[in-house]
Amino acid sequence: MSTEENLARESKPASQPPAPEAQANVESAPKPADGLTGYSPAPLPPAARGAKKKRKDVEIAIRVNKVVKRFGSKTAVDGVSLKVKAGSVYGLIGPNGAGKTTTFSMLAGFLKPSSGEIEVLGYAPTQVDELRSRLGVLPQDALLPPWDKVGEFLMHMARLQDVPADRVEAECREVLEEVDGKDWWNVRCSQLSHGMAKRVQLAQALLGEPEIVLLDEPTAGLDPRVAYEIRQLIKRRKGRCTLIVSSHNLQELEEVCDAACILDRGRVVASGSITELTASSEEVRIKLGAGPAPVAVVRELPMVKRVEFDEERRELVVYFDRGQVDAETVIGHVLWALLQNQARISGVTKGKGLEQRVMELT
């Protein structure tokens, strides 16, 4: 599916321009230059080969342009394009085999695209020196070196990141403390539990305060408490750096991400801000208990565009024009009308939830 088709599946009316946030976060059609960073797909601009771009110079942290990755005859990623705004939290969503980890691995420079271009902070992901200490990566299934002690491993990583010699140990201890692992300094990596290892992996990704942090399944296989703590850690990092999170856990992504793209069979099937993806600025879902369902009354409300009622699930879906009114106002009016007509309300949600959206698209 082409990026233009992806756009079509977003089914946004022409009269409704996308939210500014969405414009900045999502690129469905490649542009030769966008005026933000002097970007041109290939070759890299001369400036990119010179001095490192400082944080303030970069508005678009990651650009992916028509990237294809083939493994033999199998195409794992097929023409993916996306754009991630600096400072945002961006999700890569999709079922198994959708191409999330392959896309992620290309962003980190582990895999080379068969065609297309990728820029991370204006550089190719393989330009290690330019991206040193600016890009942190938590790979999904990369084991820690078993013979190294946690402290030694982190210090070696910090040295390779060019952390000043007098700051190496302090920085490693700080980042280990941030993941709640300050007592593990002298523990061998082979002796860490899965949860502990994941946190050490996260610590190495956060070393040196990188501008971009790529997290592949950061909470996979973790117990709910540790997963919660990692989510909180990601939230704390929000605004301090750009975070790209690849995950199966849609509730988690909905909770932490500003924007996301949904992949299926190697292609982008939808992308945008979480608000757009969940249509939370276009529809309200109201679960009704047993009793009357005054659909007609709701339909007559002036801000309501359309109403659907699923009798089996007893769910009322109210569509409205997001350019005219916000979801909170609609909820107020709709609930008022329902209560006036003796309806019993058991739940209200804005939009359809990321999970449902993904189920529809993949």
Partner 1 sequence: MNPFVETRHIIQRELRKNLRSVKGIALAVLTLLGGSSIALLIAKYNDFKREEMGQISPEELHMLREKALARLYEEDTAKWLADAPEVLLALLSFTVWLAPLLIALMGFDAISPDIQHRTVRYWTIRSRRWSYFLGKWAGLWATVSIVTLAMDAIIWGVCVVRGEADVATTLSWGVRFWLTSLPLSAIWCSIAVLISSLFRVPMVALLVTFATFFTLWVVYLIANVAHLDPLLYLYPNHYDHLMLDPKAYRFGTGVLASFGMTALFVAGGSALFARRDV
Positions touching partner 1 (CB under 8 A) are 105, 108-112, 128-129, 131-132, 135, 137, 139, 141-145, 147-148, 152, 156-157, 159-162, 204
Q: Which is nearer to partner 1, 129 or 166 (CB)?
A: 129
The minimum distance between CB 138 and partner 1, in angstroms, equals: 10
Q: Which is nearer to partner 1, 88 or 161 (CB)?
A: 161
HSE at residue 207, side-chain half, CA atoms within 13 A, is 31
CA separation, residue 155 to residues 8, 140, 193, 346 (Å):
49, 21, 21, 54
Q: Which is nearer to partner 1, 79 or 208 (CB)?
A: 208
Q: What are phi and psi of 106, to 5 degrees?
A: -70, -35
The minimum distance between CB 143 and partner 1, in angstroms, equals: 4
CA separation, residue 282 to residues 17, 226, 303, 304 (Å):
13, 34, 11, 10
The minimum distance between CB 191 and partner 1, in angstroms, equals: 15
Alpha helices in 110-267 (DSSP H): 128-131, 150-160, 168-178, 194-206, 224-237, 250-256
Q: Which is nearer to partner 1, 92 or 108 (CB)?
A: 108
Q: Which is nearer to partner 1, 70 or 238 (CB)?
A: 70
Which of 161, 74, 171, 77 minimizes the C-alpha distance to 115?
77
Tokens in use for 289? 């208990």
Q: Positive or negative CA dihedral for 259, 262, 266, 267?
A: negative
Torsion of CA 172, 175, 177, 178, to 10 degrees: 180
The minimum distance between CB 218 and partner 1, in angstroms, equals: 15
Report the distance separating Cα 282 and Cα 275, nearest Å: 9
Q: Positive or negative CA dihedral for 22, 45, 103, 209?
A: negative
The minimum distance between CB 247 and partner 1, in angstroms, equals: 18
The minimum distance between CB 24 and partner 1, in angstroms, equals: 26
Q: Which is nearer to partner 1, 241 or 288 (CB)?
A: 241
Helix (H, G, I), strand (E, B) or coil at 294: coil
The minimum distance between CB 147 and partner 1, in angstroms, equals: 5
Report the distance separating Cα 201 and Cα 247, nearest Å: 16
The minimum distance between CB 99 and partner 1, in angstroms, equals: 14
The minimum distance between CB 219 and partner 1, in angstroms, equals: 19
Q: Which is nearer to partner 1, 84 or 137 (CB)?
A: 137
Place of tokens 């208990």: 289
Q: Which is nearer to partner 1, 31 or 188 (CB)?
A: 188
Q: Identify whether the C-beta of residue 107 lies closer than 8 Å to the C-beta of residue 125.
A: yes
**Between β-strands 115-120 and 60-71, what pairing exists: parallel, antiparallel or unpaired?**
antiparallel
Q: Which is nearer to partner 1, 91 or 109 (CB)?
A: 109
